[in-house]
Structure 1
Amino acid sequence: QIGDHKFSAHRIVLAASIPYFHAMFTNDMMECKQDEIVMQGMDPSALEALINFAYNGNLAIDQQNVQSLLMGASFLQLQSIKDACCTFLRERYDREQRGPCLPELLSNIRLPLCRPQFLSDRVQQDDLVRCCHKCRDLVDEAKDYHLMPERRPHVPAFRTRPRCCTSIAGLIYAVGGLNSAANFYAGDSLNVVEVFDPIANHWEKCHPMTTARSRVGVAVVNGLLYAIGGYDGQLRLSTVEAYNPETDTWARVGSMNSKRSAMGTVVLDGQIYVCGGYDGNSSLNSVETYSPETDK
């Protein structure tokens, strides 16, 4: 169901044809036991077309439905439909329509931070870039950034400033998760933690968490990384642990009041907020906040 629109379908057909529903119906999500599934964020006509595609393998893409089908296919993880929509757009989106917008778009991209090979092999070779004087100037500026370091002070600062977390600068942490690459919802929950250094282009393992956690909330406050709640493969969790990158150690901190996984997690004014999630029986609308100073 989407809004007032309802569509009937067989679970086995949806699970066999659409990865999103396969994950939903073959795991412990609450929807697998419901007779009616409420969905949001999709155009009803796109969902109907994609359900029909699951039955007959036919789908008509046109200028009126291509955007809604692309969004729906992305949501339902239908890669072949996504590719077909992208091909349709590439073939029909006329050069005159894209050309005037491209210089403005490229001027807001950090091209100097792209790899030189990518600039030469991909960006510079694009037909629209080659036909646009302003675009070529932007690409040349980015190439000069790599070839002539002495000219870097003349490049606008915002185009050379990396986007990165300011709390644990420059590093990307992968915390817990599942060990199956084939299905987002399948596999065993992990306690593994890895860190990626973009400068060295290298991953390395950190000390593992004390508890396996998938669908875990993660937040960074005062240089500590917090792993919040999640699912250990059997139960939803209320426990929280904090990682200190300097000592490569985990320590338990105050638990949440509710068990929850797949929740929204955000930091505001030094406080961690967790919103919603799933407790194993139902989706939650409750919100909790944690203060690192008081450990509550």
Structure 2
Amino acid sequence: MMTKKDRKFVTRRIVRPLIPQDILFAIGGYHEGRPSDVIEAYDARADRWSVVEGVDSIAPRVFHGTAVVGFDIYVIGGVGDFYEVLSSCRCLNAVTKTWREVAPMNARRRSLMVAVLRGAVYAMGGFDGHLCDRTAERYDCKTNKWSWIASMNTGRSSAGAAVLNGT
């Protein structure tokens, strides 16, 4: 039960920042046969796509993975503008529209699988430019560190990964 005294510390709903809840982001990929750095957002409530303005370029990237933790969108690995396989990881804060470079993965990966489990980002498999990879690693957002985890039984790339009810 809140007393009259407690209410002065509660931020009223009308003054809270409005952050859309039903938004999908499309980041990078191919456009006209070349890697792209375009970011588009789909507003499910308005049923429309728009180019996200006011965000610095991530640099063109394809075959990367993405993961969302809170309002941070991690763009992981992939292939850059000069077709090199990347280990880099960048993070876009969807509220402030700012990028930051975070720790790179231990391995270069394209066409990798990415998932978030209990607040940690997992990068699995992929292709290093020569072989399908079976290694996997976990990113701790709080410490900004990637660490190896047990490898998969089989190397694979261009697969999907998902988390359902904490599994």
TM-score by length of 2: 0.70
1:212 aligns with 2:60: yes
The aligned residue for residue 201 of structure 1 is 47
Pick closer, same or farther for the CA change 1:209–1:291 going to 2, 3 Å.
farther
The aligned runs of 1:241-256 (5 Å cut-off) are: 241-256=90-105
User: Deviations 1:153-195 (Å, cap 9, x if unpaired)?
Assistant: xxxxxxxxxxxxxxx7311100110014xxxxxx211111111
Q: Which has the higher helix share?
A: 1
Code of the residue aligned with 1:193 in structure 2: it is I
- Moved beyond 4 Å, runs of 4+: none
CA contact (8 A) 2:109 2:128 kept: yes
Alpha-carbon distance in structure 2 between the residues aligned to 1:204 and 1:250 = 19
Q: Distance in 1 between matches of 2:137 and 2:71?
A: 21
| Aligned residue number for residue 7 of structure 1 | none
Q: Quick check: 1:291 aligned with 2:143? A: no
Matching residue within 61, 70, 73 for 1:225: 73
Residues in 2 aligned to 1:244 and 1:190: alpha-carbon distance in whole angstroms: 19
Residues 220-275 of structure 1 show CA distances to partners (whole Å, capped at 9, x for unaligned) of: 00221100011114201111111111111111111101111110100001000010
Counterpart CA distance in 2 for 1:202 and 1:250 is 24
SS class of match (2:35):
coil
Q: Which residue of 1 aligns with 2:124?
A: 275
Write the distance in 1 (CA, Å) between the matches of 2:120 and 2:78.
19
Alpha-carbon distance in structure 2 between the residues aligned to 1:269 and 1:209: 29
Q: Aligned Cα RMSD in Å?
A: 1.4
2:29 corresponds to which residue? 177
SS in 1 for 2:132: coil
| Change in CA separation of 1:209 and 1:283 when aligned onto 2, cut-off 3 Å | farther
**CA positional deviation for 1:282:** 1.2
CA distance in 2, matches of 1:244, 1:193: 13
Question: Retained in 2: the 8 A contact 1:193–1:208?
Answer: no
The offset of 1:202, in angstroms, is 2.4
Cα pair 1:191 1:208 within 8 Å, conserved: no
Larger radius of gyration: 1
* Aligned-residue identity in percent: 33
Give the distance between the partners of 2:41 and 2:140, measured in 1 at CA. 25
Distance 1:177 1:276 in 2: 19
More RCO (CA 8 Å, sep 6+): 2
CA–CA distance in structure 1, aligned partners of residues 105 and 97 of structure 2: 24
Deviations 1:63-115 (CA, angstroms, capped at 9, x unpaired): xxxxxxxxxxxxxxxxxxxxxxxxxxxxxxxxxxxxxxxxxxxxxxxxxxxxx
Q: In structure 1, how many angstroms separate the alpha carbons of the residues matched to 2:69 and 2:47?
A: 25
Instruction: Identify, as 1 or 2, the structure richer in strand.
Output: 2
Separation in 2 of the partners of 1:210 and 1:174? 13
Report the Cα distance in structure 2 between the residues aligned to 1:256 and 1:270, rounded to whole angstroms: 17
Unaligned runs of 5+ in 2: 1-19, 146-167
Number of residues paired by the alignment?
123
Does the aligned pair in 1 maintain the 2:71–2:95 contact within 8 Å? no
Q: Does 1:259 align with 2:111?
A: no
* Structure 1 residue 208, shift from structure 2 partner: 4.7
Matches within 5 A, 1:1-296: 169-180=21-32, 187-206=33-52, 207-233=55-81, 234-296=83-145
